[in-house]
């Protein structure tokens, strides 16, 4: 079944336009509820399934939360509400409370005008395709509200933040702490605003928090993991040892050293993998994506660390990790998955894994990356107004072949449609920065022309 609504990271779009409307979201909640009530939940003794709903700090979260709540209750499902909580916190709390599913209302790194719905299974992982297909199929049926005595009930989950803070701290080695480190934490005015700083502080760090004044409209706005210049300035201003930038829902991370240099997901993944290899904690290999810098792959080869590329998206990274029975993977965008610590990508826990490596080896970020020079990369996003099959366009195919020939096996050309936004992403990578920029701009211009005439 071809999915109409579910993308690589749930359902996402502009608030007020289908599918992110209260009518659709209520029907979505109802359909998901019917799928849950039809499942054979062992040892439940006739109890109703319970779903935990969390959200980030977007103003539209109130609207969509109420719509989901109504749909789920109409289907006979009980609901817990956590309020603003990071996406990975919901994945943890589902398992900790033995619930049947979780839903996060978030558009991750997007600005406030967008929002989305992410589902998690009872195991704290993304829903399998089979369940997503069943939910989509249910959208074609009418809502038939359960009799009053069978309607779901709603209650607020108490101390969700406290539970999650303790969980994050438990992933950091007990014999180490962060005393003596001054850390700036940028929470992107998002779901970690009341979480991340406390985790670092309770582990002993001197913490400066920024991006912790959400107003519903400023999530990811010139802050966080998608706008790291704010963190870079703050680290220099406060003479901090390093900085941590999270995105709006807390599953991405970037870091900055005391000189203000930025370290992306590829570099942080490398630091964790290198440390685990040294400590004999790396079970199996590492999963990256099609976007992972070629220099990282080459370095892993020299270190005899198996490396595989998944399609872009943390969902695909997790699927390949599960298939290979490996535990570490990630994307250059800052999604890092440590499956021995959590079931999904978690920005705070990933930061703690990097900090573990730094404290254990007594090295800085720069020292940990010594000897690894990333290949220049250029990413250009081309906006499209409607779906466009660029793979059949002869002009683009010809230009891509010319770029690959010019890079002479010392680089890569990657063109793909975004799974979360109406964009075509063009990434060129190679040893020559001049060639990378040249071909990225030429292919992007050809893409704009082709998209306008499609």
pLDDT, tens digit, for every residue of 244-258? 999 999 999 999 999
* Whether 74 contacts 143, CB under 8 Å: yes
Q: Picking from 44-53, 282-291, 320-329, which range would have the lowest pLDDT averaged per residue?
A: 44-53
CATH class of 377-452: alpha beta
| SS3 letters across 137-183 | HHCCCCCCCCCHHHCCCEEECCCHHHHHHHHHHHCCCCCCCCCCCEE
For 291-295, what is the mean pLDDT? Answer: 92
Percentage, residues of the chain above pLDDT 90: 84
* Whether 36 contacts 51, CB under 8 Å: yes
| Res 389: pLDDT | 83
Query: How far apart (Å, rounded) are the C-alpha atoms in residues 5 and 298?
Result: 37
Superfamily assignment of 11-160 in CATH? Alpha-D-Glucose-1,6-Bisphosphate, subunit A, domain 3 (3.40.120.10)
The more confident residue out of 389 and 311 is 311
| Res 440: pLDDT | 94
Query: How far apart (Å, rounded) are the C-alpha atoms in residues 428 and 440?
Result: 6
DSSP 115: E
Q: For the chain, state the CA radius of gyration.
A: 22
The CATH number that domain 264-344+361-368 falls under is 3.40.120.10
For 421-436, what is the mean pLDDT? Answer: 91
Portions of the chain given CATH number 3.40.120.10 = 11-160, 179-262, 264-344+361-368
Query: How far apart (Å, rounded) are the C-alpha atoms in residues 349 and 351?
Result: 5
DSSP 252: B
C-beta neighbour count of 156 within 10 angstroms? 10
Answering whether pTM is above 0.75, one says: yes
The beta-strand segments (E) located in 65-138 are 78-84, 101-105, 114-121
Contacts (Cβ under 8 Å, ≥6 apart) of 17: none
Q: Confidence class of residue 451 from pLDDT cuts 50, 70 and 90? A: confident
| Res 44: pLDDT | 59
| Res 390: pLDDT | 87
DSSP 428: E
| Res 421: pLDDT | 77
Query: How far apart (Å, rounded) are the C-alpha atoms in residues 372 and 384?
Result: 36
Please confirm whether the linkage preceding 352 is cis (ω < 30° from 0).
no
Query: How far apart (Å, rounded) are the C-alpha atoms in residues 90 and 93?
Result: 5
Architecture of the domain defined by 179-262: 3-Layer(aba) Sandwich (3.40)
Q: Picking from 18-22, 272-276, 413-417, which range would have the lowest pLDDT averaged per residue?
A: 413-417
> Active-site residue among 108, 125, 161, 350?
108
| Res 386: pLDDT | 81
The more confident residue out of 248 and 393 is 248
Give me the sign of the Cα torsion angle 249, 250, 253, 256. positive
pLDDT in tens, 158-176: 999 999 999 999 999 999 9
Question: Phi and psi for 162 in degrees, rounded to 5?
Answer: -65, -40
Give the 3-state secondary structure of residue 338: strand
Q: Picking from 38-42, 109-113, 288-292, which range would have the lowest pLDDT averaged per residue?
A: 38-42
Q: Confidence class of residue 391 from pLDDT cuts 50, 70 and 90? A: confident
Percentage, residues of the chain above pLDDT 70: 98
Q: Confidence class of residue 46 from pLDDT cuts 50, 70 and 90? A: low
For 420-435, what is the mean pLDDT? Answer: 89
Contacts (Cβ under 8 Å, ≥6 apart) of 367: none
pLDDT in tens, 129-156: 899 999 999 999 999 999 999 999 999 9
Query: How far apart (Å, rounded) are the C-alpha atoms in residues 9 and 120?
Result: 11
Percent of the chain as helix, strand, coil, to the nearest 5: 40, 20, 40
Q: For the chain, give the mean pLDDT.
A: 94
| Res 240: pLDDT | 98
Query: How far apart (Å, rounded) are the C-alpha atoms in residues 254 and 243?
Result: 8
At residue 94's C-alpha, the angle toward residues 314 and 127, to 5°, is 40
| Res 313: pLDDT | 87
- Does 432 qualify as catalytic in the annotation? no
pLDDT in tens, 314-330: 889 999 999 999 999 99
Q: Confidence class of residue 45 from pLDDT cuts 50, 70 and 90? A: low
């Amino acid at each position: 079944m071809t999915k109409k609504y579910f993308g690589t990271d749930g359902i996402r779009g502009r608030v007020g336009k289908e599918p992110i409307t209260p009518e659709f979201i209520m029907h979505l909640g109802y359909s998901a509820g019917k799928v849950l009530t039809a499942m054979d939940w062992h040892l439940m003794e006739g109890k109703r399934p319970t779903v935990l709903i969390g959200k980030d700090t977007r103003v539209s979260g109130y609207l969509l939360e109420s719509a989901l709540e109504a749909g789920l209750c109409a289907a006979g499902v009980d609901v817990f509400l956590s309020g603003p909580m990071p996406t990975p916190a919901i994945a943890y709390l589902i398992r900790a409370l033995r619930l049947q599913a979780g839903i996060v209302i978030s558009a991750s790194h997007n600005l406030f005008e967008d929002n989305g719905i992410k589902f998690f299974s009872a195991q704290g992982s993304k829903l399998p395709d089979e369940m997503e297909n069943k939910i989509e199929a249910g959208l074609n049926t009418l809502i038939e509200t359960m009799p009053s005595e069978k309607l779901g009930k709603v209650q607020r989950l108490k101390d969700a933040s406290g539970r999650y803070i303790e969980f994050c701290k438990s992933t950091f080695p007990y014999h180490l702490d962060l005393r003596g480190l001054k850390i700036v934490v940028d929470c992107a005015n998002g779901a970690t605003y009341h979480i991340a700083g406390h985790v670092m502080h309770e582990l002993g760090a001197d913490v400066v928090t920024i991006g912790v004044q959400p107003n519903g409209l400023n999530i990811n706005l010139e802050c966080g993991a998608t706008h790291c210049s704010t963190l870079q300035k703050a680290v220099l201003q406060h003479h901090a040892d390093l900085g941590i930038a999270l995105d709006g829902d807390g599953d991405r991370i970037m870091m900055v050293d005391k000189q203000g240099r930025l370290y992306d997901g590829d570099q942080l993944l490398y630091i964790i993998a290198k440390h685990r290899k040294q400590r004999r904690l790396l079970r199996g290999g590492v999963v990256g994506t099609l976007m992972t810098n070629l220099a990282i792959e080459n370095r892993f080869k020299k270190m005899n660390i198996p490396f595989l590329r998944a399609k872009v998206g943390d969902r695909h990274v997790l699927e390949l990790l599960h298939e290979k029975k490996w535990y570490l993977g990630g994307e250059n965008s800052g999604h890092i998955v440590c499956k021995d610590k959590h079931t999904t990508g978690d920005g705070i826990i990933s930061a703690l894994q990097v900090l573990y490596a730094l404290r254990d080896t007594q090295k800085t970020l720069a020292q940990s990356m010594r000897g690894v020079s990333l290949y220049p990369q250029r990413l250009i996003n081309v906006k499209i107004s409607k779906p466009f099959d660029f793979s059949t366009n002869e002009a683009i195919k010809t230009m891509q072949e010319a770029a690959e020939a010019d890079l002479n096996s010392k680089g890569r050309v990657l063109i793909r449609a975004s799974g979360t936004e109406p964009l075509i992403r063009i990434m060129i990578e190679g040893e020559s920065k001049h060639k990378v920029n040249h071909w990225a701009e030429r292919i992007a211009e050809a893409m704009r022309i082709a998209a306008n005439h499609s």
